[in-house]
Structure 1
């Protein structure tokens, strides 16, 4: 393994924090996409029923 020296704990914690932050952003984006897809489907259904 690469020798990180006396700052190894800080470096590892920084990488772990970035990984957790990135995972949160990805999860938030996926949840927003699902919500948007559901809302668009609802609006499409409503629009089609208004035309009939």
Structure 2
């Protein structure tokens, strides 16, 4: 830690905090994506279609 100077502990703690926050955000995005995919599949099973599949007159 001497290469980082007297504030090495703060620097490492800051990097660790950023890694934890970004990891948490990535996990939240992944879990939300899975939930949205399940909800979309449930809607499609009930007969709701996607707008992009409809043909324009």
Q: Which runs of 5+ in 1 are unaligned?
A: none
Q: TM-score, normalised by structure 1?
A: 0.86
Q: TM-score, normalised by structure 2?
A: 0.79
Q: Which runs of 5+ in 2 are unaligned?
A: 49-57
Q: Which residue number corresponds to residue 54 of structure 2?
A: none
Aligned positions, number: 48
Q: Which runs of 4+ in 1 moved over 3 A?
A: none
RMSD: 1.8
More helix as a share of residues: 1
RCO comparison, higher one (Cα < 8 Å, 6+) = 1
